[in-house]
Amino acid sequence: MLSWKLSLGVAIIAIMGTLNPAMSQNPANCRITLSGRVVDEKGGPSTYASIQLLENQQGALAGEDGRFTLRNLCPGQYTLLCTRVGAEELKLSFTLVKDTTLTLQLVETGVTLESVTVAASEIRGQGGQAAAELSGSDLEAGQGLGLGESLKRLPGVTTLNTGATIAKPVIQGLHSNRILIMNNGVRLEGQQWGTEHAPEVDPFIADQITVVKGAGSVRYGADALGGIILVDPRALPHRAGIGGVVFAQGLSNGRTGILSGILEGRLPGAKVPLSGRIQGTVKRGGNLQTPDYFLNNTGVKEYNFSWALGWQGDNWQTDTYYSRFYTELGILSDAHIGNLTDLNNAIARGRPLTDADFSYNLGRPQQRILHELVKVRSQLKTGDQSKLDLTYSRQFNRRQEYDAHKAFNQLGAEITDPSILFEITTHRLESDWKHAMGPNTHAHLGGNVMLQRNTTDRGALLPDYSADQAGFYWTAIHRKLPQPFEFEIGLRYDYQALHAGIQGADTLNANRYFSGGSGSLSMVYYFKENLRLRMNTGTAWRAPHVSELFSEGVHHGSASYETGNASLVAERAWNTSLTLEWNQEKRWNTTLTVYYNLIANYIFLEPAGTPRLTIRGAFPAFLYAQANARLMGLDWNAELKLHRQLTLESQVSLLRGWNRKLQDHLIFMPPDQFRNGLKMNLPATIHGEESFVRLTVQNVLRQSRTPASGDYAPAPAAFTRLDLEAVRTLHWGAQPIEVGLAVNNLTNTRYREYLNRFRYFTQEPGRNIILRVKVPFGIRAEAPKMENNSLTH
Amino acid sequence: MTSKPSFLFGLVILLALSFSSCEKDKDLDAENEQELITTVRLSITNTTTNQTTVFNVRDLDGDGGLPPTGDEVLLKSNSSYTLSVSFLDESDSGKIEDITEEVEEESAEHLICYASTGSMPTVTVTDKDTNNQTLGLKGSFSTTAAGTGTLKVTLKHEPEKGSTAACSTGETDAEVTFNVTVSN
């Protein structure tokens, strides 16, 4: 991480030309890029600010969008000076070791002299792994549709849907327990094992979402065979005053309304360095509509709330964070089926039995999900280059599923009695010590302990169980100039103890112990400062989940009888990827990733051949089995400037999954897809905010590589979908209002997605017109003049 | 600038206290266990002799474990019968629940379908629900020649009773097949 020092409210004398360069190294080996964005107090771009590095006199002028780039920098200690007419100067000292992105927040000169704020963020320490980020209007455009849907904009990321209301992210073909979701720095411990269990995260909390693809990020834990999704809220405000953002969205399909807001501030003065934020989201939607019919009972309610408090000492900082996610999701009534005959009848119909009307009513079947997170994080500066980070978190997850049928003994009862109820309580304690090992090597040493209790009420699909885990890791990143290499190594060891207690009426009393190492080795090779190759090879493992070991029963909605396999062993992935990044400023920007992921003892559901007979008739039976599997593919992302205002955007995701034991394709692998778009930039507003119109064409091929058995219907046909999007910032007096208008599925195309489990029953939703408004606001508090202050991040 | 550690401790304790408002893991009573259908019972009455015989298909251990087992339905040739069906929860032998009452109470939302093969004659449903549409808890049939066959009994929840193929709509709550022997 970048160590930086900040000077507040002190006038800087320009001393250009008087200082010697910080380091006199061979310029050919100085390849570091420092880029960033200058923003105003409201987070909007601050145009045409001047950026100077005092040590070597290198400078740049931020563009209309506030962005700037400084290239060919040698590593070393720098002082950056950011100036702009009408704003206070900003001075920032830091050590540059690798490519770094900064956000510089300028404060307009007011009547009083106020403290300036700097928020600095480093490019994610992704090492050699492929990663993609989503922020700004790209993130906001999808937030109203949910976390999974917003991530679909990234190459290599798709979703596994259960109807139109439940979407799980899929990274390079892997999902559920094979990926990790880090919700504000805490590993999400929800009900990710189920394919119809969406991530329990409010997408409006996120200021930035990063997807790290492939195995090897040892810092966040075992299990990440497919990758990691980092959902990060913005940092607490560093300057006195109060401000925030209001988001309002209306979606035509489902007649959905969303209101979300952030209110944050910091007390004035240095005596009580306390900052805080409250955030909340309310979402309400009704029945969704396909081009031909409404989907009965597909509404949604969502009420999310979070708060954060931060206290900043001289060389330490403590943050407390609480978030509560609550949703009620309707499940398409026609998708709830009793047995194999019902399923075949439904597939033969291929559409809901009756045409529903629009309604906000949420009936059965339904899911109600609650997720709470409490986190206390303390950071202590332990030296010039070192920092200790301690985090305690508690998560509580409650998942209530309401069957289509009320319980027979609950006649007349309201919808208060779930058919099945899962609860998880998780405590985690984590530590991370960042330190320097010599001038060219930075390392992290850390560990964690987790205690988890899971209970299942009503129904015996899963046993009650406890899962306890401990792990520790070490990572180091090394770069010594003039070598054009950067190396990163990561090692991790985890131990897990699983105790499965009671399953329905049976006492299992089964104990399972798993342990294993994870590791990664990566290298970045800089051909040129803007052309680099990332090579990563990593290994990760995942203990079988209780659902895979002990589940016994009919899986809701899928009409399959699933039997666990108590003798499963851990699965292990060996993942290798190559990523080539080539950015030619103002001309093109392209990233190509190829990956090869070998998973030993891959756990999958194997069709049992003979159906299971019950009093409700026959159900297709599946057994959890293991085999060696191979996933390989290609993700490509490119932006090519065709003309001054016109950019071609292109994405390709290809994937092949193979089961080596069965000598057959893996089931439910994302089909090959292509996304091409034209983005036309309109003249920026006088304040410099970006305006654009974008037309995207998405082509998804038919998944022709499906296994011989295991699915109930053949893969759906290929389709082409058109999306239109426009973003512009309006000004009402001094108040900026960002307005986005999007039309998803512009031509109201009828199509079905292979990775939607409800494709048997219905088409995908039709045209959806989304209007979104973002209103940042801020009130500056009178702050007394501050002395020099410094802190370390 | 100074900050007192005691203040920090106070803050942390305050925050820690505020967590006590968090949701707790609430276990529900086992009494809330839902009823399930373990038994489908046919009561078949010979209209001439007025003699009633009872045949069951049972799956007492629920979905998993052992498959359902059933009695063979024994009928006389060239005879008229009335039939009534009931659904029971016999999972707890000390507390047998008759779920048929609840099907009757919600008769408009339920439909019992009969499918016959071989020598088992077609069952004619003789009862109606509260909307005067077919229900199927009661029926009648007349056997002809001797032979063997099957009778499939299906309990449907929320079927589309107006549909031409009502029995292929709705969610199946129970579906069992009886083997039938018609003898002289």
What tokens does A65 get? Answer: 């969008």
**What is the C-alpha to C-alpha distance for residues A333 and A342, in angstroms, rounded to an integer?**
13
Ranked by mean pLDDT, which of A215-229, A572-586, A651-665, A771-785 comes out on top?
Answer: A651-665
pLDDT in tens, A645-703: 899 999 999 999 999 999 999 999 999 999 999 999 988 766 777 889 999 999 999 99
**For residue A117, which of A243, A288, A231 has the smallest C-alpha distance?**
A243
- pLDDT over 50 at A387, yes or no: yes
Which of the four pLDDT bands, split at 50, 70 and 90, describes residue A793?
Answer: very low
Which of the four pLDDT bands, split at 50, 70 and 90, describes residue A504?
Answer: confident
Rounded mean pLDDT of A490-499?
95
CA distance A345 to chain B (A): 6
| Residues of A in Cβ contact (< 8 Å) with B96 | none
Interface check for A425 against chain B (CB to CB < 8 A): the answer is yes
**Structural domain includes residue A786:** no
Which of A314, A458, A553 is opposite residue B64, by nearest beta carbon?
Answer: A553
User: Between residues B176 and A165, which one has the greater pLDDT?
Assistant: B176
CA distance A752 to chain B (A): 22
pLDDT, residue A416, reads 67
Percent of chain A at pLDDT above 70?
Answer: 89
- pLDDT over 60 at A253, yes or no: yes
- pLDDT over 50 at A116, yes or no: no
**What is the C-alpha to C-alpha distance for residues A46 and A38, in angstroms, rounded to an integer?**
5
The number of residues making up chain B comes to: 184
Residue pair A774/A764 in contact (Cβ under 8 Å)? The answer is no
* Residue A573, C-beta contacts closer than 8 angstroms, at least 6 positions apart: A215, A225, A539, A540, A541, A542, A597, A598, A599, A600
**What is the C-alpha to C-alpha distance for residues A180 and A227, in angstroms, rounded to an integer?**
7
In chain B, the residue whose alpha carbon lies closest to the alpha carbon of A618 is B175
pLDDT, residue A150, reads 87
DSSP A383: S
pLDDT, residue A791, reads 31
Which of B1, B19, B171 is opposite residue A314, by nearest beta carbon?
Answer: B1
**Structural domain includes residue A474:** yes
pLDDT in tens, A420-476: 889 999 999 999 998 888 888 888 999 999 999 999 887 777 899 999 999 999 999
pLDDT in tens, B52-71: 999 999 988 877 778 899 99
Query: What is the DSSP track for A381-417?
Result: E-SSS-EEEEEEEEEEEEEEEE-SSPPGGGTT--TTS
Rounded mean pLDDT of A752-758?
93
Percent of chain A at pLDDT above 90?
Answer: 46
pLDDT, residue A27, reads 52
Judge if A543 and A599 occupy the same domain: yes
Hey, are the CB atoms on A615 and B105 less than 8 Å from each other?
no
Rounded mean pLDDT of B126-142?
94
Find residue A294's DSSP bridge partners. Answer: A289, A356
Q: What are phi and psi of A674, to 5 degrees?
A: -130, 135
Hey, are the CB atoms on B171 and A423 less than 8 Å from each other?
no
| Residues of B in Cβ contact (< 8 Å) with A789 | 1
Interface test with B, best of A614, A623, A785, A788 (most B CBs within 10 A): A614
**Structural domain includes residue A376:** yes
**Structural domain includes residue A785:** no
Q: What are phi and psi of A48, to 5 degrees?
A: 50, 40
State the DSSP H helix or E strand holding residue A259, giving kind and residue range, or none if neither.
strand A256-266
Please say which residue of A229, A262, A295 terminates a domain. A229
pLDDT, residue A555, reads 74
In chain A, the residue whose alpha carbon lies closest to the alpha carbon of B60 is A615
User: Between residues A610 and A727, which one has the greater pLDDT?
Assistant: A727
Q: Mean pLDDT, chain B, as a whole number?
A: 83
Find residue A402's DSSP bridge partners. Answer: A366
pLDDT, residue A44, reads 76
Q: State the CATH number of the domain containing residue A151.
A: 2.170.130.10
**Structural domain includes residue A391:** yes
CA distance B122 to chain A (A): 20
Rounded mean pLDDT of A220-241?
87
In chain A, the residue whose alpha carbon lies closest to the alpha carbon of B37 is A615
DSSP A47: T
**Structural domain includes residue A495:** yes
pLDDT, residue B12, reads 61
pLDDT, residue A14, reads 27
Judge if A331 and A358 occupy the same domain: yes
CA distance B148 to chain A (A): 21
End-to-end CA distance of chain A: 8
Paired sense of beta strands A227-232 and A735-744, if any: unpaired
**For residue A710, which of A659, A658, A657, A666 has the smallest C-alpha distance?**
A666
**For residue A300, which of A359, A347, A242, A246 has the smallest C-alpha distance?**
A359
Judge if A336 and A473 occupy the same domain: yes
Judge if A730 and A702 occupy the same domain: yes
pLDDT, residue A548, reads 93
Judge if A253 and A224 occupy the same domain: no
Which of the four pLDDT bands, split at 50, 70 and 90, describes residue A386?
Answer: confident
- pLDDT over 50 at A17, yes or no: no
**What is the C-alpha to C-alpha distance for residues A163 and A167, in angstroms, rounded to an integer?**
8
Chain B contacts in chain A segment 445-484 (CB below 8 A):
453, 455, 457-460
Interface check for A511 against chain B (CB to CB < 8 A): the answer is no
Judge if A66 and A179 occupy the same domain: no
Weakest mean pLDDT among A103-107, A305-309, A446-450, A709-713: A103-107
What tokens does A132 get? Answer: 């993609």
User: Between residues A411 and A11, which one has the greater pLDDT?
Assistant: A411
In chain A, the residue whose alpha carbon lies closest to the alpha carbon of B59 is A615
**Structural domain includes residue A38:** yes
| Residues of B in Cβ contact (< 8 Å) with A374 | 19, 22
- pLDDT over 50 at A412, yes or no: no
Q: What are phi and psi of A571, to 5 degrees?
A: -100, 150
CA angle A627, A629, A631 (to 5 degrees): 165
Which of B11, B105, B172 is opposite residue A338, by nearest beta carbon?
Answer: B172
**What is the C-alpha to C-alpha distance for residues A653 and A156, in angstroms, rounded to an integer?**
5
Which of the four pLDDT bands, split at 50, 70 and 90, describes residue A623?
Answer: very high
Helix (H/G/I), strand (E/B), else coil: B107:
helix
Interface check for A711 against chain B (CB to CB < 8 A): the answer is no
- pLDDT over 80 at B33, yes or no: no
Which of the four pLDDT bands, split at 50, 70 and 90, describes residue A406?
Answer: low
Size of interface A-B (CB pairs under 8 A): 144
Interface check for A64 against chain B (CB to CB < 8 A): the answer is no
**What is the C-alpha to C-alpha distance for residues A61 and A70, in angstroms, rounded to an integer?**
10
CATH number of the structural domain B35-183: 2.60.40
Which of the four pLDDT bands, split at 50, 70 and 90, describes residue A273?
Answer: confident
Rounded mean pLDDT of B148-156?
94
**Structural domain includes residue A789:** no
Ranked by mean pLDDT, which of A302-316, A522-536, A583-597, A661-675 comes out on top?
Answer: A661-675
Domain that holds residue A156: 131-229
Interface check for B13 against chain A (CB to CB < 8 A): the answer is no
DSSP A339: S
Hey, are the CB atoms on A376 and B172 less than 8 Å from each other?
no
pLDDT, residue B16, reads 57
- pLDDT over 90 at B46, yes or no: yes
pLDDT, residue A128, reads 64
Percent of chain B at pLDDT above 70?
Answer: 81
pLDDT, residue A255, reads 96
What tokens does A184 get? Answer: 């504000």
| Residues of A in Cβ contact (< 8 Å) with B27 | 455, 457
Judge if A363 and A492 occupy the same domain: yes
Rounded mean pLDDT of A235-249?
89
Q: State the CATH number of the domain containing residue A506.
A: 2.40.170.20
Q: Would the CA dihedral through B168, B172, B177, B182 be positive or negative?
A: negative
Which of the four pLDDT bands, split at 50, 70 and 90, describes residue A22?
Answer: very low
pLDDT, residue A394, reads 96
Q: Helix %, strand %, coil % for chain A, to 5?
A: 5, 55, 40
**What is the C-alpha to C-alpha distance for residues B123 and A633, in angstroms, rounded to an integer?**
58
| Residues of B in Cβ contact (< 8 Å) with A619 | 63
pLDDT, residue A10, reads 28
**What is the C-alpha to C-alpha distance for residues B37 and B35, in angstroms, rounded to an integer?**
7
Residue pair A304/A324 in contact (Cβ under 8 Å)? The answer is yes
* Residue A312, C-beta contacts closer than 8 angstroms, at least 6 positions apart: A238, A273, A274, A275, A791
Hey, are the CB atoms on A405 and B157 less than 8 Å from each other?
yes
| Residues of A in Cβ contact (< 8 Å) with B24 | 396, 425
Which of the four pLDDT bands, split at 50, 70 and 90, describes residue A7?
Answer: very low
Position A96: which residue type? L
Q: How many CB atoms lie within 10 A of CB A610?
A: 9
Domain boundaries, chain B: 35-183
- pLDDT over 90 at A748, yes or no: yes
Rounded mean pLDDT of A359-366?
88
Number of independent structural domains in chain A: 3
pLDDT in tens, A533-550: 989 999 999 999 999 999
Q: How many CB atoms lie within 10 A of CB A694?
A: 20
User: Which regions of A458-587 does DSSP assign to beta strands (E)?
Assistant: 465-478, 485-503, 506-528, 531-542, 552-555, 560-563, 571-584
* Residue A762, C-beta contacts closer than 8 angstroms, at least 6 positions apart: A163, A290, A295, A332, A334, A335, A351, A352
Judge if A223 and A235 occupy the same domain: no
Q: Mean pLDDT, chain A, as a whole number?
A: 84
Please say which residue of A229, A247, A265 terminates a domain. A229
Q: State the CATH number of the domain containing residue A75.
A: 2.60.40.1120
| Residues of A in Cβ contact (< 8 Å) with B89 | 408
- pLDDT over 50 at B10, yes or no: yes
CA distance B98 to chain A (A): 10
Judge if A82 and A169 occupy the same domain: no
Hey, are the CB atoms on B26 and A423 less than 8 Å from each other?
yes
Which of the four pLDDT bands, split at 50, 70 and 90, describes residue A177?
Answer: very high
Which of A314, A411, A421 is opposite residue B102, by nearest beta carbon?
Answer: A411
Rounded mean pLDDT of A45-70?
79
Interface check for B35 against chain A (CB to CB < 8 A): the answer is yes
Rounded mean pLDDT of A215-225?
83
Judge if A149 and A42 occupy the same domain: no
Find residue A274's DSSP bridge partners. Answer: A311
Please say which residue of A199, A229, A259 terminates a domain. A229
**What is the C-alpha to C-alpha distance for residues A636 and B105, in angstroms, rounded to an integer?**
60
> How many angstroms separate the Cα of A58 from the Cα of each of A24, A85, A92, A368, A610?
14, 20, 15, 56, 73
| Residues of A in Cβ contact (< 8 Å) with B12 | 318, 376
Which of the four pLDDT bands, split at 50, 70 and 90, describes residue A5?
Answer: very low
Residue pair A423/A400 in contact (Cβ under 8 Å)? The answer is no
Rounded mean pLDDT of A154-159?
91
State the DSSP H helix or E strand holding residue A622, giving kind and residue range, or none if neither.
strand A621-641
Alpha helices in B100-180 (DSSP H): 100-105
Residue A764 Cα to chain centre, angstroms: 24
